[in-house]
Amino acid sequence: MIGSFDDYVASLTQLSDPFDPTIPTAESERIRDVAAGLSTLDEVDRQTLAVFVAAEPEAVPILGLAVGLTREKLKNVLKHHLGTAGWNGLSLERAAQIVEMLDEKYDLVRLVEEQRERTYDFGDVLVARAGTRRTAAYAGETGRRIEDEIERVARDLGLACATRTRFIGRNGASAPCDLAIPGGGADARIVVAAKGFDSTGSKLTDAVREIEDMANKRLPVQYVMAAVDGIGWKSRISDLRRIYELRASGQIDGLYALSGLGEFRSDLEDAARRLGLLQ
């Protein structure tokens, strides 16, 4: 039985792991001003940073840079952990919670203290400039994490499968899928989409269209499932709701976050037995 949409949203998890950067990129005078203010603090701890944030809301994205978070990713992290992406309001009313969350999840206090005392050389500048490439690599890894997990479940059940392929459905039309059992093309009997994003953008809408395409082209004897997770969806609720409605209306046979992989395994096994793929 499918749960409520709110329950599904609450089950979304952060897919990407934070990394420890060597330096935040100073792209404007505002960043330099805030960084200078942080450098004048007599002591760096949660309390002093909370006072600083409460007096200077624009310090929040700079603290985000200090722990390797872009503005977009910071918004998603704030929304996931504190319920809203608006750091201006949060800094006035819940500055201590912002600092506490960033310290618990990203080691804020240590990184600010360490980086404000450090002298940087040319190599450090080049490492900082390479940070955007590293962030892009992490974004790709979040989607692959879900693909790897659903493939692991299928193979653990003893099911043959193909990954990142296409399947043939109604009227000979094809659609993309991230997992096809027992194979792609005309062999596909169960197809699964794996869509994980911790950041936002048009790629999320593209992912919705891909799942809709799978639902529209499926044959009556084919099962369509979707594994969808990541805090980026919390900033694209309307897109996530479109996927949820596909499940609620029966156009796809399952919708799972990573926390629901046990249910995915059970449903996948049941479908495979009905299709004679498992004895």
Assign 1 a pLDDT band (cuts: 50, 70, 90): low
Whether 109 and 209 map to the same domain: the answer is: no
**CA gyration radius for the chain?**
22
Name the token pair of 42: 């007599």
Whether 182 and 80 map to the same domain: the answer is: no
Q: What is the mean pLDDT of residues 98-123?
A: 86
Mutual orientation of helices 108-116 and 59-66 as an angle, nearest 10°? Answer: 90
Q: What is the mean pLDDT of residues 233-254?
A: 94
Any idea which residue has 């962030």 for tokens? Answer: 135
Q: What is the mean pLDDT of residues 92-118?
A: 91
pLDDT in tens, 134-145: 554 444 556 688
Assign 36 a pLDDT band (cuts: 50, 70, 90): confident
Whether 106 and 200 map to the same domain: the answer is: no
What is the number of structural domains in the chain?
2
4-13, 26-35, 156-165: which has the highest mean pLDDT?
156-165
Asked if residue 153 is part of any domain, the answer here is yes
Asked if residue 91 is part of any domain, the answer here is yes
Q: Identify the CA nearest to 74 among candidates 90, 58, 59, 85.
A: 85
Span of 123-132, 170-179, 233-242 with lowest mean pLDDT: 123-132
pLDDT score for 125: 54
pLDDT score for 119: 74
Q: What number of helices (H) and strands (E) belong to the chain? A: 13, 5
CA angle 135, 138, 139 (to 5 degrees): 90
On the question of pLDDT at 25 being above 80, the answer is: no
Asked if residue 1 is part of any domain, the answer here is no
Domain hosting 250: range is: 140-274
Local structure of residue 18 (DSSP, 8 states): P
pLDDT in tens, 183-223: 999 999 999 999 998 877 788 999 999 999 999 999 999 99
Asked if residue 52 is part of any domain, the answer here is yes
Asked if residue 164 is part of any domain, the answer here is yes
Span of 18-22, 97-101, 108-112 with lowest mean pLDDT: 18-22
Q: What whole-number distance in Å separates Cα of residue 106 and Cα of residue 96?
A: 15
Asked if residue 2 is part of any domain, the answer here is no
pLDDT score for 23: 42
Asked if residue 14 is part of any domain, the answer here is no
Task: Please provide residue 218's backbone torsions phi and psi, each rounded to the nearest 5 degrees.
Answer: -65, 150
Give the domain-ending residue among 54, 87, 119: 119
What's 178's domain CATH number? 3.40.1350
Asked if residue 124 is part of any domain, the answer here is no
Q: What is the mean pLDDT of residues 36-57?
A: 92
**Element containing residue 89 per DSSP (H, E):** helix 87-93
Q: What whole-number distance in Å separates Cα of residue 89 and Cα of residue 232?
A: 21
Assign 26 a pLDDT band (cuts: 50, 70, 90): very low
Name the token pair of 121: 């050389």
Assign 132 a pLDDT band (cuts: 50, 70, 90): low
pLDDT score for 271: 97
Name the token pair of 33: 């001003």
Q: Which residues pair with 193 in a beta bridge?
A: 226
Residues 232-247: b if buried by 16+ CB within 10 A, e if exposed: bbbbbeebbbebbebb
Please, which residues have CB within 8 angstroms of residue 248's CB and are 6 or more apart in sequence? Answer: 2, 5
Q: What whole-number distance in Å separates Cα of residue 18 and Cα of residue 69?
A: 8
Whether 106 and 178 map to the same domain: the answer is: no
Whether 165 and 266 map to the same domain: the answer is: yes
Q: What is the mean pLDDT of residues 116-125?
A: 70
On the question of pLDDT at 177 being above 90, the answer is: yes
Whether 205 and 254 map to the same domain: the answer is: yes
pLDDT score for 94: 94
For 146-248, strand residue ranges (E) read 162-168, 174-181, 190-196, 223-229
Any idea which residue has 């048009």 for tokens? Answer: 202
Supply the mean pLDDT for the chain.
87
Whether 205 and 268 map to the same domain: the answer is: yes
Q: How many CB atoms lie within 10 A of CB 268?
A: 27
